[in-house]
Structure 1
Amino acid sequence: MKKRPEEYRAGSRTPPPASGVEDDRGAGPDLDDGPTGPGAPTDRPGPSAPTTPGPDRPPVRRGRPRSEAAERAIVEATLRLIEEGIPLSDLSIERIARTAGVGKATIYRRWEGKEALLVDVVRSLDPEDPPLPGTSLRDDLVVLMENIHRRGLAKRSSALLVSVFAQMQSYPRLWEMHHRVSVLPRRLQMDEVLRRGIADGEIRDDLDFDLLGDLFVGPILVRTVLRPEVVWAKDSAEQIVDAVLAGVRPPRWPSS
């Protein structure tokens, strides 16, 4: 029975070549494997090595740790190829591996294919969101609005991101993966904050929930996409949150 890609990561170290992709076994040293040859360090015990830790002996490590250096090299190689003007359609695992100085097996151990790798590459360019303060509904919403605005500015000012996003929309599977991995978790985070506000009686419960979220996000999208020339003030996020909350509070909510 033919193994699925995820079985190779859990079992065999080197997946068989996919159609159109030649096998890279024996293709040279793999960055993920580390030094090889006589005298090279290894984390696997020999035949007589004890496997039970004693009082003066640390536990024996089995297997090899995930190599962050290899992943970083792969992501940076992919970015470099895109910056050189290589279209996404012409990017191949073989080309990325050659540029990164790793074997194709190293890439396939971490990503099931080119689409999954590209999603992580795009995510690496996203500014990291600071955690929500959790002090109040208003405070959490203000931080969320600032996060959305910051990501919008990054996408607009980065020629690389503009190019990648324009190309990604021509690949439905890639676009869907990006939405699931990067966009949806942030939307769910905002939904959680709004549901908590409804449960606590700070937001009316008779509003269309999707519309409620759009009321907060809409002004930011207008400023970053349709009216980028408008200056984003230091308190713009607070003004948006306060204006929307004033309209969605329950009728008897005490004024601040």
Structure 2
Amino acid sequence: MLDQDHEKEHRRGRPRSEAAERAILEAVVKLLEEGVPLGTLSIERIARTAGVGKATIYRRWQGKEELFVDVLREIEPPDAPLPGTSALDDLRVMLESMRRRGLAQRSSALLHNVAVQMKSQPRLWEEYHRTVVEPRRRATMGVIARGVASGELRDDLDVELLHDMLIGPMLLRTLHRPGAPLDEDLAERIIRTALQGLSPRTPSP
């Protein structure tokens, strides 16, 4: 279940032992699958389950918040690499990654429960936003700005507003409307609707 090739540059203090780190991440997942609430998981119990000392965990993560965010990164579907062929192509891939994460949260009781419990813990939610949500937001804003600079998108656009207009429908359907359809062409439809605008189509002569 855990991605062996997960990137770890975001973490302070590069681990000396990949095997130990893997054991720690898998221990957290195991305890969560057994029904242990996220808020009651202690470093002591995680270390005992992983067969390592507490110091081994603290050498890799400053606290539970950083560790839990890494666990969530591992069990979420990874972001697909951007093709880089055009800003619109990259935006389609980014939206599709969001759609896949939404589908995964619907189908995985573990992922759903972790996400729900995380929101009730302000420090963990803040860490997730700082290290996961905000970097994704900056990356999407960068793609939109690149599209403006290249002429794919209008040069008088409010980049931040356009970001919210594109991401908003996907967030609404994946987070706030759990029964909303997440069709395979949803990313394409969002972009097409944004490009076409809201004005009525001019009738053909």
Larger Rg: 1
Structure with the larger helix share: 2
Change (3 A) 1:87 1:130: same
Are positions 1:158 and 2:108 aligned together?
A: yes
Gaps of 5+ in 1: 1-8, 11-64, 249-256
Residue 123 (structure 2) pairs with residue 177 (structure 1): no
SS in structure 2 opposite 1:110? coil
Q: Which amino acid aligns with 1:164?
A: V
Alignment equivalent of 2:165, drawn from 191, 215, 223: 215
Structure with bigger RCO (C-alpha 8 Å, 6+ apart): 2
Residue 87, structure 1, aligned to residue 87, structure 2: no
TM-score by length of 1: 0.66
| 2:142 equivalent to 1:196 | no
Q: Which runs of 4+ in 1 moved over 6 A?
A: none
1:1-256 equivalent positions in 2, closer than 5 A? 66-224=16-174, 225-226=176-177, 228-230=179-181, 232-233=183-184, 235-247=185-197
For 1:213-239, what per-residue CA distance to the aligned partner results, in whole angstroms no more than 9, with x for missing partners?
121122223433426353503x33222
Partner of 2:90, secondary structure, is helix
Deviation at 1:88, TM superposition (A): 2.2
User: What amino acid sits opposite 2:177 in the alignment?
Assistant: L
Deviation at 1:245, TM superposition (A): 2.2
Asked if structure 1 preserves the Cα contact closer than 8 Å seen for 2:88 and 2:147, the reply is no
CA 236–87 in structure 1, closer or farther in 2 if over 3 Å, else same: closer
Residues 82/237 of structure 1: CA separation in 2 closer, same or farther (3 Å cut): same
Q: What is aligned with 1:14?
A: none
- Over the residues paired in the alignment, what is the CA RMSD in angstroms? 2.1
**Structure 2 residue identity aligned to 1:142:** R
Paired residue secondary structure (1:115): helix
How many Å separate the matches in 1 of 2:70 and 2:181?
32
Distance 1:207 1:134 in 2: 21
Structure 2 residue runs of 5 or longer lacking an equivalent are 1-11, 199-205
Q: TM-score, normalised by structure 2?
A: 0.82
Distance change in 2, residues 1:229/1:242 (3 Å): closer
Percent of pairs with identical residues: 61
Q: CA deviation at 1:89?
A: 2.5
- The code of the aligned residue for 2:191 comes to V
**Structure 1 pair 140/231, CA: closer, same or farther in 2 (3 Å)?**
closer
Q: In 2, distance between residues paired with 1:106 and 1:228? A: 42
Q: Following the alignment from structure 1 to structure 2, what is the Cα–Cα distance between the partners of residues 231 and 71?
A: 34
